[in-house]
Structure 1
Amino acid sequence: MHGVKRVQYSQAALEAKKQRDHDKLKAYLALSDDVIARKKSHDMSNEAFELTTRLLRMNPEFYTVWNYRRDMFIESLFPQRSPSEVNELLSDDLSLTFELLKQHPKVYGIWNHRRWCLEHIPDGPSPDDVNGYRNSTWNKELFVVEKMLDADARNFHAWNYRRYILATMPFPPPPKSELAYTTRKIEANFSNFSAWHQRSKVLTTLWETGELDRVKSIEEEFELVRNAMYTDPDDQSVWIYHAWLIGNGNYAARLQFEITSIQELLDEQPDSKFSSPLQATADREACGESRG
């Protein structure tokens, strides 16, 4: 990087680093061979379980080891324990995956194991939630994924996981609260495609249930997206959402208004790479609407 002074390492330092890397690889391969051998011999011991923890900390993309770990839970660990103890075990694994996600936020295996843990939380009382371990854990999970999105608001893995939580948790928050959440994320960064996508999902639900007036809310959405368009006319996320709105507000007066609005933006930003194609699309749809 410009302005950053390069550090010159001596030959001895380079050799020492090379040796450390070699030792780490050797240790990893030995541990990996040990765990896979235990899996093949159907070793369900506590020692084998701890070895999977060590190996997954070194390589959380090792999907076979996640599967082995889940087999140990089901065949060995769960049957020997009460619901409260099972809940504690799974809570520990949720903590493990959260720790790993902070370093590897886009590894599918970690997210998948987290889902599996949630789906195996037992029913039972909880001191902080009369609805039981399950509901208490899912509520906490929604808070955790919000923290993940605070760290990286455009992590599509976290957004997919959030949709999964909202669709699966026993007592989800009302859709209007999720709409407000997407508003906050979008206003913080108009370039957040995942937030726009989530907003389209929530709005569709609210329209279908009658909780929002479709025509009125579409008008409000066009106002929101227009602010984004003028703020950053070259952001693709905004234009994709705008096209989705046009498809859902496909009537002549609105289309003509959008054509005029896009033309005004083109007059101000003639080099905008998304404005011109969208205007052409709007023109075609307006003509089709007129013919209809």
Structure 2
Amino acid sequence: MHGRPREYKNKLKADSKAQEAYKKKVDAIRNGTALVLEYRKQKKYDPAVLDAAAKLLKVVPEIYTLWNYRREALGPVFESGGEQAQRASEGELALTQACLLENPKSYSTWHHRKWVVGRGLAPLERELHLVSRPLGPPTTIHHNTLHVLSRPYAVRRTSQDELQYVEDKILQNFSNYSAWHFRTILLHQMYCSGPAGSGSDSGSGNGGDAAAGSLGSTAPLAAAATAGGSANRGSAGQRTPIPHDVLDQEYDMVHQAFATDSRDESPWMYYRWLACRLLEDHLAAEPDARWPLLTLARLREAQARLGLGGSPEECEEMLQEARSLYGRLMILDPMRRGFYEDALEGRAFVVVQALGTV
């Protein structure tokens, strides 16, 4: 968990008995997992083995193959319906809740719970309560758990209601990365999913495409720009961009967060998403528009040269993307070819940096 020191590592180093107990625990988990996987290979789903898998998952909920085994075993039970399916649903929900107490950020556990809820036998109000807890006020331990993104699977309200809910959580704590992240998904659902206006009241769904819903990713821009907009060509007539008045409200909220604590990472990542969202909308409608392409190239170059793109490899990819964009601009805007050539060689960035713009 974030901010929690892993004290057990220090204890293991200093305590030989603890080391021995830990080794026995690891061996037991390894042997138990091997046994379950052998039964899975033989397509045997005995109750005793399912119980063994459940006990292992309560200790190590991240062993996704054990969850797969349970889904294979219980799939036919859910399909048959009736009282047996209801008992299976309650049992799996109880198991996942126990595992989440062990590790609230277990991707495998949340995925399995979503699968169970998807069978249609779980009370949705209970699910909303569960997935709302990580998004609670900063006094709660896991207020910024990423798995608030599991919330849409239980939602049957409008996206506008959810947008207000997330705004309340952001105002309680501007550091709530998950709330900012969920907001990108909601805005994408409301304005950018499918035919114009079709996503405006969905409230459910799977959270939109991963790229559009990720604060750390602007991958669609590369396809829209470097390929001449081919990836998004024609899409402007099939979806509506986020309205300018909505964007203005989002900028106002993120500026409020900056004024509260300019060092907080979460609102800055959301701010970058907003800027890139606006660029993507423009490039989808006009893939050859000079200013959006140039702005995107400048952003990519700044990210790469200032080391803000992640790993050295990712920064190099961003720099190559910027160079590709400058090359495309030479073709689209030949009268300013010299300007783009300077930019391609990095000289324009040096001037911008010297002027203090970056």
Name the TM tier (shorter chain). Answer: 0.5 to 0.7
Distance 1:15 1:58 in 2: 22
Deviation per CA, 1:55-111: give whole Å up to 9, x if none: 222222222221111121134x457x7523312211221121122122222222212
Distance 1:41 1:94 in 2: 26
Deviation per CA, 1:173-215: give whole Å up to 9, x if none: 122211111111111221223322322433455556478x944
What amino acid is the match of 2:180? W
Answer yes or no: is 1:238 the counterpart of 2:228. Answer: no
Q: Contact 2:149/2:182 (CA < 8 Å) preserved in 1?
A: no
Answer yes or no: is 1:148 the counterpart of 2:134. Answer: yes
Distance 1:242 1:63 in 2: 34
Q: Contact 2:33/2:66 (CA < 8 Å) preserved in 1?
A: no
Q: Contact 1:186/1:196 (CA < 8 Å) preserved in 2?
A: yes
1:118 match: 117
Q: Percent identity?
A: 27
Superposed, 1:264-279 pairs within 5 Å as none
Cα 1:26–1:201, aligned 2, differ >3 Å: closer, same or farther?
Answer: closer
1:70 match: 71
The 3-state SS of whatever aligns with 1:39 is helix
Q: Contact 2:58/2:99 (CA < 8 Å) preserved in 1?
A: yes
Q: Contact 2:61/2:99 (CA < 8 Å) preserved in 1?
A: yes
Aligned residues: 220
User: Which range is displaced more, 185-194 or 198-207?
Assistant: 198-207
1:262 match: none
Q: 1:159 aligns with which of 145, 148, 155?
A: 148
> Which has the higher Rg, Structure 1 or Structure 2?
1
Distance 2:105 2:247 in 1: 33
Cα 1:78–1:175, aligned 2, differ >3 Å: closer, same or farther?
Answer: closer
Cα 1:159–1:78, aligned 2, differ >3 Å: closer, same or farther?
Answer: closer
Answer 1 or 2: which has greater helix percent.
1
Deviation at 1:243, TM superposition (A): 4.4
Distance 1:108 1:204 in 2: 23
Deviation per CA, 1:222-245: give whole Å up to 9, x if none: 332222111112223323433454
Q: Contact 1:191/1:238 (CA < 8 Å) preserved in 2?
A: yes
The 3-state SS of whatever aligns with 2:15 is helix
Distance 1:100 1:26 in 2: 20
Superposed, 1:142-291 pairs within 5 Å as 142-150=128-136, 151=140, 152-156=142-146, 158-166=147-155, 172-206=156-190, 209=197, 214-245=243-274, 248=278
Answer yes or no: is 1:105 the counterpart of 2:95. Answer: no
Cα 1:177–1:47, aligned 2, differ >3 Å: closer, same or farther?
Answer: same
What amino acid is the match of 2:123? T
1:263 match: none
Q: Contact 2:96/2:113 (CA < 8 Å) preserved in 1?
A: yes
Q: What is the TM-score normalised by the length of structure 2? A: 0.53
Cα 1:70–1:229, aligned 2, differ >3 Å: closer, same or farther?
Answer: same
Q: What is the TM-score normalised by the length of structure 1? A: 0.63
Deviation at 1:146, TM superposition (A): 0.4
2:33 match: 32
Cα 1:40–1:199, aligned 2, differ >3 Å: closer, same or farther?
Answer: closer
2:54 match: 53
Cα 1:55–1:203, aligned 2, differ >3 Å: closer, same or farther?
Answer: closer
What amino acid is the match of 2:264? D
What amino acid is the match of 2:181? H
CA RMSD, 1 decimal: 3.3
